[in-house]
């Protein structure tokens, strides 16, 4: 078993390659107090222990969860400023509970969007059967099959609404800007 003194040290470029981040990202993490080199080489290079790999992966996971670097910085400061372990863990718990709530809301919005997209794609499936003489403004309410204004999915119906409101010639737009 290696002692702390025998542990392999990584220069910042080596660490960046191992964790799949840029050197600049690691320098930024250091500037924000999120990552600390264990020492510097005789040539002045930052040296990181293998623990830094876990730390960078942890930062990456928090970013994947939607935390910004300033959020992570505040999170770490709150932890470090805790009076006791239980107090620190309570702060961590509160942060994670809020993130879980936000994540569940985002999942709910995405599931709703998924349903909207599926309904729209199903509706649009029969559009290839329309006569080529149909004008664009007839789409979304052509009465073919299930194509009724009341049955048109919102994502498709919005096209017809936009078409009515955006029926402006290019000339009138350019004339108005003169």
Residue 32 lies in a domain: yes
Residue 95 lies in a domain: no
Tens digits of per-residue pLDDT, 19-69?
999 999 999 999 999 999 999 988 888 899 999 999 999 999 999 999 999
Residue 31 lies in a domain: yes
According to the model, what pLDDT value does residue 140 have?
57
According to the model, what pLDDT value does residue 75 have?
85
pLDDT exceeds cutoff 80 at 104:
yes
Residue 105 lies in a domain: no
Residue 39 lies in a domain: yes
Q: What's the number of domains the chain is made of? A: 1
Helix H, strand E, coil C: the string for the chain is: CCCHHHCCCEEHHHHHHHHCCCHHHHHHHHHCCCCCCCEECCCCCEEECCHHHHHHHHHHHHHHCCCCHHHHHHHHHHHHCCCCHHHHHHHHHHHHHHHHHHHHHHHHHHHHHHHHHHHHHHHHHHHHHCCCCCCHHHCCCCCCCCCCHHHCCHHHHHHHHHHHHCCCCHHHHHHHCC
Residue 103 lies in a domain: no
Q: For a pLDDT cut of 90, what percent of the chain falls above it?
A: 52
Residue 40 lies in a domain: yes
**Residues spanned by the domain of 44:** 7-65
Residue 37 lies in a domain: yes
Name which of 95-99, 112-116, 120-124, 127-131 the model is least confident about: 127-131
Q: What is the mean pLDDT of residues 113-119?
A: 95
For residue 21, give the CATH number of its domain.
1.10.1660.10
Confidence of residue 7 (pLDDT cuts 50, 70, 90): confident
| Beta carbons of 46 and 61 less than 8 angstroms apart | no
Q: What is the mean pLDDT of the chain?
A: 83
| Listed ranges 46-60, 127-141, 152-166; the one with the highest mean pLDDT | 46-60
């Amino acid at each position: 078993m290696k002692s702390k003194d025998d542990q392999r040290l990584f220069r910042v470029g080596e660490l960046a390659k191992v964790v799949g981040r840029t050197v600049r990202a690691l320098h930024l993490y250091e500037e924000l107090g999120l990552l600390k080199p264990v020492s510097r080489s005789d040539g002045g290079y930052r040296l990181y222990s293998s623990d830094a790999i876990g730390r960078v992966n942890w930062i990456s996971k928090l970013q994947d969860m939607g935390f910004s670097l300033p959020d992570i910085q505040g999170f770490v400061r709150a932890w470090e400023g805790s009076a006791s372990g239980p107090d620190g863990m309570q702060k961590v718990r509160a942060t994670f509970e809020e993130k879980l709530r936000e994540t569940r809301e985002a999942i709910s919005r995405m599931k709703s969007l998924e349903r909207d997209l599926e309904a729209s794609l199903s509706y649009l499936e029969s559009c290839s059967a329309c006569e080529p003489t149909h004008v664009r403004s007839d789409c979304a309410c052509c009465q073919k099959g299930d194509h009724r204004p009341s049955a048109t999915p919102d994502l498709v119906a919005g096209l017809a609404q936009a078409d009515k409101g955006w029926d402006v010639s290019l000339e009138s737009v350019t004339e108005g800007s003169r």
